[in-house]
A and B are shown apart, each in its own frame.
Chain A
Amino acid sequence: MSLDIRRSSASVWGSASGMRTAQVVSKYIDTTTCIGCKACEVACQEWNDLGPVATEQVGTYQTLPTLHAEFWNLIRFNERDFDGGLAWLMRKDQCMHCDEPGCLAACPAPGAIVQYANGIVDVNPDQCIGCKYCETGCPFDVPRFSATTGKMAKCTLCVDRVSVGLEPACIKACPTGCLHFGTKQDMLELAKGRVQQLKGNGFAQAAVYDPQGVHGTSVITVLAHGDHPEYYDLPVDPHVPWGVKLWKTIVRPLGAIAIFGAVIGAFGHYMNHGRKGVKGADAHDANLPDA
């Protein structure tokens, strides 16, 4: 089954047929009930045929220092003192599937990074040129270059599973139910309920991490210490770097406009899809079914 594309790297717009609408999906991660068992790490590798990666014990329960081209899902372990108590924080790290994906914005290869209508941000290896620009565009330090394939690699939010109605592999493997999957709206509801519960349980600063600097993400995270995302190795206020934005919003569209064929294409698209008009040359808001 093919998925409608909302945005595509180095392209003016996506390729939505407009024939159906897709709801934005999201993972839900409740760090307060995660026990760091790493079942999601293994499920991710097994489903995606990755690894294993050579690791060594360097004094931590954490499998690797950071994500890896063969390891897209990593539980980050942090020991933190707070208010005289101790917290051993475990947070599932993977691609956050930003609503405004910095990787996609930074990518110069047409169609190498796409954002589907359901919010999933994916790398298309056929188009990827391995330039690593997406690394610089990502405020979460997620995409990794694979020396084996010469391409970039990251969590796909199991787009192959999701597109046929299954939950991502990591979600399926989670034994405690700290991971859920569904529409972004439902997951936000779930998260808000849990945060209320945590507040009643002594965590006054509990919060949902759904950073608005990137217009929210398709991975929302419940944090007991919501005022300190950095405790969990999360950026406090992530944004797409201004340099990437500049390239995306000004420099590249100028080049694009210069390409006559693209203009013809835009016109053709307009003719085909009627009112889903292009609001300017940027693909940002173009061609969106009501998500």
Chain B
Amino acid sequence: MASLAATFGRGAMTNGWVDIKNADVILAMGGNPAENHPCGFKWFIEAKKTRGAKLVAVDPRFTRTAAVADLYSPIRAGSDIAYLLGIIRYAIETGRFHKEYVQLFTNGPYLIGEKYGFDDGLFTGFDDATKTYDKTNWGYEADPKTKAYAVDKTMENPRCVFQLLKKHVERYTPETVARICGTPKETFLKVCEIVTSTGNAQRCGTITYALGWTQHSTGVQIIRAAAMLQLLLGNVGRPGGGVNAFRGHSNIQGATDMAGTFEILPGYLKTPAGPQQTLKDYLEAATPTTLNKQAWASMNYWQNYPKFMASLLKATYGKNATKDNEFGYAWLPKVDGNYSWMYIYDDMYRGSSKRLGADEPAPEGLITFGMNPMGIGPNVPKMVNALSKLKWLVVGENYEIETATFWKAPKEYGGPDPSKIPTEVFQLPASGFAEKDGTFTNSARWLQWKWKAVDPPGNAKTDQEILARIFLAVRDLYKKEGGALPEQVLNVTWSYSNPAAPDLGEVLKEINGKALVDIPDPKDKTKMIRTAGQQLENFGQLQDDGSTACGNWLHLGVYTEAGNNAQRRSTADPTGLGMYPNWTFSWPANRRIMYNRASADAEGKAWDPTRPGIVWNGEKWVGDVPDIKPDSPPGEYGAFIMNAEGVGRLFAAALNDGPFPEHYEAVEAIIQNPLHPKVTSNPATKKFSSDKDVYGKPDQFPLVCTTYRLTEHYHYWTKHTEVLNQLQPGFFVEIPEAYAQKQGIANGSKVRVTSARGSIEGVAMVTKRLRPLQVDGKELIQIGFPIHWGYSAGDTGHTGPLANFLTPSAMDPNTWTPEFKTFLVKLEKA
């Protein structure tokens, strides 16, 4: 979600599932929602049936989504940026974009400093030795007189973002798109016409994506291109619009919100870095300032960062967090390098964490919950050898997953002889999702409470009980034996009714937060907005002086004095647009469509009166929960309150691989980059350098391969479930019919797929749904196979190869997400 945050200010689905029914055009690309989100897909169908919406599916394969789409466009896996920049070029060239919106709500008119440039595949500021960019080269130009951002509202200044964008995309002609993407030019132009039909006030379209965009070495920039396209078309903040990111699991949004990755704390606060030894230093680095003080200024909502952080520290350390000790800031771990999971396993494999300034021994133990490293990581041969170096491994799971049995992996995975593996493995039986209460936070940012359906079987325990018991045991050890920095553990507050198995309702209450003392109303100090002990109602009530505690400022409002709002189930729909304001709780602030200020024009009138997001009634904004100060008249603040500029970013200096997206080939490139052969792949991409990190070349591996999931299965679990096994009984490889015929491969026969990492066997599914493409003047063949199988399937016998045996350890430089969607293979009859 790094790209959405860099563009709009928050890294999540902008609108919501139900809102898709309000779209006139749906571009489904980088995802196969009919396959992977069949329940949410009902809103696509609803839009088609009730609005006559056009659904366009762009995918290397003719998918389940394509099967019900109005138009299908083939594309070469990994060439999405060229495709999207081609649409942007078309929109600008034909004038089919929402100019008034772009002038009001984007940084299109903002001038960029002279240091920015782009030449032959590289942006300015690239350091070839470290493969990183110096992003200070991409800054805004400040007005010499006012010191505010320099802006040209006409967007004609050659240094304004709009003109720079126009110049950047002029290379992406329909012919070039066809050459790079393998999409027939006529099909591409049809897509352009449909998508840009929403570049005005009357119509609105949405773009939906999922892991088909994320899992590339250019993943973040692909999504950036989509976000930019939507800004250009004026589709962000409006009902029926947005960039709707579909999460890959039922609660991934919740996991990310609650610090699912190493670089963030709950609520997307930043993990402190080594040099930030005091809270003051940390807050100075983390709290953005704005140059924008005039009309349409930025609310710069992140200026409240100190309140969010102080409240988080109070929620973490309770009474031990005082003003004098900076609320316990010193006890928070400071990161000295990249600890995303790919790096952790690399450390494990190499036996050292020494890199990028870090200097620690490799991990000797691993606790893994809700994650199956053997299955989900690329390059399984490296993973199995990494795990084999651990002293101990704890797996909390409801099935015996591949990770728990990594030492039993079949020989071809290249792990050591089991007798030589020192790892002691503990499998803790954990309850499944239906065996515990709690919330799922869906892609639409709804925290939805679910109730336990059945008790866990046997000795299985809930995750929170397992974690709580480990925590309490570790805390006892620190109490008894001391150790390095025991305060870090001893000072953590743990005030649950049942400390060994916290009730998740209590935890949610703690996440929402409460007033610790009476909080006076700033407008009338004789009144209290909250009294001590009361649950907080909104993040406007948070304080930076330690008088409020809040586990995640973004979730504030989920558990108020009114009770657990995640349990609300009202189907009342006052707007008629499917916002259902009293169905559960939607962060932020129960807002259903983010950036909804942009749904209204300069005067505060809805762009499309039949689909208002919020409108100004002369006194306040009404409709959805406004994403702006509720009583701030039109013209006072910009529509993107989380961005320091107050506008959506067509040009974004925050990302590690460029302020504009650019087409790069995958790390395993099938061709040289037709635009700049000297810079074929993303120059800032991350790779590893161990002996197991090998990458293939097209002379040996002449086919492009991609991986995906199936409706019938859930990740690596459901091969334990006979009902689902009967629906999709085994691993298969999808092969274009035309190619299979040439190679003499019959449908249903056995084939072998080999990459630079390994080789797997499966059943050939010969299909018309994959077709040879003409790319850069040559015929290009794409094949693909689903994940879901592995060597651990209980008694069902439904084992199969791990798809990631073949995938490379190459990553996006912003999120460190592996490139599962495009790599090179060869195919043979087995």
Footprint of B on A, CB under 8 Å? 32-39, 41-42, 45-46, 51-61, 63, 79, 81, 85-90, 175-178, 194, 197, 201-202
Of A35, A38, A85, most buried by chain B (CB within 10 Å of CB) is: A35
A-contacting 9-mer, from B155-163, B573-581, B635-643, B725-733: B725-733
**Could you say which residues of chain B place their CB within 8 Å of the CB of A197?**
49, 52
Cβ B711 vs Cβ A57 within 8 A:
no
Q: Given A58-B748, A88-B67, A177-B42, are A37 and B711 neighbors across the interface (CB < 8 Å)? A: yes
Q: Given A35-B68, A53-B726, are A176 and B764 neighbors across the interface (CB < 8 Å)? A: no
Cβ B769 vs Cβ A51 within 8 A:
no
**Residues of B747-765 whose CB lies within 8 A of A:** 747-748, 763-765
Q: Taking the nearest CB of chain A, how far is it from the CB of B271, in angstroms?
A: 38
**A50: nearest residue on chain B (CB-CB)?**
B723
Q: Given A36-B64, A178-B45, are A55 and B726 neighbors across the interface (CB < 8 Å)? A: yes
**B48: nearest residue on chain A (CB-CB)?**
A33
**Residues of B701-740 whose CB lies within 8 A of A:** 711-712, 722-732
Cβ B70 vs Cβ A35 within 8 A:
no
Cβ A56 vs Cβ B766 within 8 A:
no
Cβ B65 vs Cβ A56 within 8 A:
no
Of B45, B722, B768, most buried by chain A (CB within 10 Å of CB) is: B45
Q: Tell which of A35, A89, A177, A194 touches B34, judged by Cβ atoms closer than 8 Å.
A: A35
Of B42, B70, B727, B764, most buried by chain A (CB within 10 Å of CB) is: B727
Cβ A54 vs Cβ B763 within 8 A:
no
**Could you say which residues of chain A place their CB within 8 Å of the CB of B766?**
59
Cβ B726 vs Cβ A201 within 8 A:
no
Q: Tell which of A46, A57, A63, A202 touches B730, judged by Cβ atoms closer than 8 Å.
A: A57
**Could you say which residues of chain A place their CB within 8 Å of the CB of B764?**
59
**Could you say which residues of chain B place their CB within 8 Å of the CB of A34?**
68
**Could you say which residues of chain A place their CB within 8 Å of the CB of B42?**
175-177
Cβ A79 vs Cβ B768 within 8 A:
yes
Classify the interface of chain A: helix, strand, loop or mixed. Answer: loop
Of B712, B722, B726, B767, most buried by chain A (CB within 10 Å of CB) is: B726
**Could you say which residues of chain B place their CB within 8 Å of the CB of A90?**
64, 67
Cβ A87 vs Cβ B723 within 8 A:
no
Cβ B765 vs Cβ A60 within 8 A:
yes
Cβ B722 vs Cβ A33 within 8 A:
no
Cβ B68 vs Cβ A86 within 8 A:
no
Q: Tell which of A37, A63, A175 touches B726, judged by Cβ atoms closer than 8 Å.
A: A63
Q: Tell which of B34, B727, B767 touches A38, judged by Cβ atoms closer than 8 Å.
A: B727
Q: Given A56-B729, A59-B732, A88-B769, are A35 and B64 neighbors across the interface (CB < 8 Å)? A: yes
- Complex A-B: 20 CB contacts under 8 Å: A35-B41, A35-B64, A35-B68, A35-B711, A37-B64, A41-B727, A42-B724, A55-B726, A57-B731, A58-B748, A59-B747, A60-B747, A61-B728, A81-B768, A86-B62, A86-B768, A175-B42, A176-B42, A194-B49, A201-B52
Any A CB within 8 A of the CB of B193: no
With the chains together, A61 CA to B769 CA distance in Å?
Answer: 12
Cβ B72 vs Cβ A86 within 8 A:
yes
Q: Taking the nearest CB of chain B, how far is it from the CB of A248, in angstroms?
A: 37
Any A CB within 8 A of the CB of B35: yes
Cβ A176 vs Cβ B732 within 8 A:
no
Q: Tell which of B38, B49, B723, B729 touches A42, judged by Cβ atoms closer than 8 Å.
A: B723
Any A CB within 8 A of the CB of B91: no
Cβ B39 vs Cβ A79 within 8 A:
no
Any A CB within 8 A of the CB of B516: no
With the chains together, A202 CA to B766 CA distance in Å?
Answer: 29
Q: Given A52-B723, A59-B747, are A88 and B38 neighbors across the interface (CB < 8 Å)? A: no
Q: Taking the nearest CB of chain B, how far is it from the CB of A34, in angstroms?
A: 7
Cβ A175 vs Cβ B39 within 8 A:
yes
**Could you say which residues of chain A place their CB within 8 Å of the CB of B34?**
35, 37, 176
Cβ A177 vs Cβ B45 within 8 A:
yes
**Could you say which residues of chain B place their CB within 8 Å of the CB of A38?**
711-712, 727
**Could you say which residues of chain B place their CB within 8 Å of the CB of A60?**
747, 765
Cβ B727 vs Cβ A63 within 8 A:
yes
**A174: nearest residue on chain B (CB-CB)?**
B42
**B40: nearest residue on chain A (CB-CB)?**
A175
Cβ A79 vs Cβ B769 within 8 A:
yes
**Residues of B69-87 whose CB lies within 8 A of A:** 70, 72
**Could you say which residues of chain B place their CB within 8 Å of the CB of A41?**
727
**Could you say which residues of chain A place their CB within 8 Å of the CB of B41?**
35, 175-176
**Could you say which residues of chain A place their CB within 8 Å of the CB of B67?**
35-36, 87-90
**Could you say which residues of chain A place their CB within 8 Å of the CB of B728?**
57, 61
**A90: nearest residue on chain B (CB-CB)?**
B67
**B763: nearest residue on chain A (CB-CB)?**
A57
**Could you say which residues of chain B place their CB within 8 Å of the CB of A175?**
38-39, 41-42
**B724: nearest residue on chain A (CB-CB)?**
A42
With the chains together, A53 CA to B729 CA distance in Å?
Answer: 10
* B15-55 to A contact mask, C-beta < 8 Å, 1/0: 00000000000000000001100110110011011001000
Any A CB within 8 A of the CB of B66: yes
**Residues of B763-808 whose CB lies within 8 A of A:** 763-769
Cβ B722 vs Cβ A52 within 8 A:
yes
Cβ A57 vs Cβ B732 within 8 A:
yes
Q: Taking the nearest CB of chain B, how far is it from the CB of A55, in angstroms?
A: 5
**Residues of B158-206 whose CB lies within 8 A of A:** none
Of A45, A56, A89, A202, most buried by chain B (CB within 10 Å of CB) is: A56
Q: Tell which of B62, B712, B748 touches A88, judged by Cβ atoms closer than 8 Å.
A: B62
Cβ B726 vs Cβ A54 within 8 A:
yes
Cβ A52 vs Cβ B768 within 8 A:
no
**Could you say which residues of chain B place their CB within 8 Å of the CB of A55?**
725-727, 729
**Could you say which residues of chain A place their CB within 8 Å of the CB of B768?**
79, 81, 86
Q: Taking the nearest CB of chain B, how far is it from the CB of A171, in angstroms?
A: 14
Of B38, B52, B67, most buried by chain A (CB within 10 Å of CB) is: B67
With the chains together, A201 CA to B69 CA distance in Å?
Answer: 11
Q: Taking the nearest CB of chain A, how far is it from the CB of B747, in angstroms?
A: 4
Cβ B767 vs Cβ A79 within 8 A:
yes
**Additional pairs, 9, CB under 8 Å, beyond known A34-B68, A59-B765:** A35-B41, A37-B34, A57-B765, A59-B766, A60-B747, A86-B72, A88-B67, A175-B41, A175-B42
